[in-house]
């Protein structure tokens, strides 16, 4: 048995959970916060049998696509100290960060 830990963007969470559940996977959702854009993200825990791992990974890849987004980063104003103005920059968001761990024991009570 494997445990999939998938960290995804909040806007992909509902669709991915629905897709995984439609395929028969059980999903636990954790609300988490990303460090780079300080934006909310979602961490999903999915327990899968070894022979169903590849299908679960395909579903995650299908739903969680990378995309471009404009984010504001503070840029200092020349000649002043402590003064910052928002500066738009294009960043890639979305996709998924996935960890797959071996599960030694699974118990459902």
The answer as to whether 98 is a domain residue is yes
Per the structure block, which two tokens stand in for 58? 């395909």
Number of domains in the chain: 1
pLDDT score for 56: 97
The answer as to whether 84 is a domain residue is no
Task: Kindly write down the DSSP assignment for every residue of 41-82, as one continuous string.
Answer: EEEEEEEE-GGGHHHHHHHHHHH--EEEEEEEEEEEPTT-SS
The answer as to whether 13 is a domain residue is yes
The answer as to whether 40 is a domain residue is yes
The answer as to whether 73 is a domain residue is no
Structure confidence by residue, pLDDT tens digits, 59-100 = 999 999 877 766 666 655 555 566 666 667 766 666 899 999
Domain extent, residue 55, equals 2-66+94-102
pLDDT score for 101: 98
The answer as to whether 44 is a domain residue is yes
Structure confidence by residue, pLDDT tens digits, 26-58 = 999 998 886 655 667 899 999 999 999 999 999
pTM of the model: 0.75
Question: What CATH number does residue 46 fall under?
Answer: 3.30.70.120
């Amino acid at each position: 048995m494997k445990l999939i830990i998938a960290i995804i963007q909040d806007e992909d969470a509902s669709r991915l959970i629905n897709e995984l559940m439609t395929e028969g996977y059980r999903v636990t959702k954790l609300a988490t916060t990303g460090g780079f854009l300080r934006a909310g993200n979602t961490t999903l825990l999915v327990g899968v049998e070894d022979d169903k791992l590849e299908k679960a990974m395909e579903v995650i890849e299908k739903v969680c696509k990378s995309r471009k987004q404009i984010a504001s980063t503070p840029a200092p104003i020349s000649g002043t100290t402590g003064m910052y103005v928002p500066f738009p920059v294009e960043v890639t968001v979305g996709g998924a960060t996935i960890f797959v761990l071996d599960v030694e024991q699974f118990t459902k009570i």
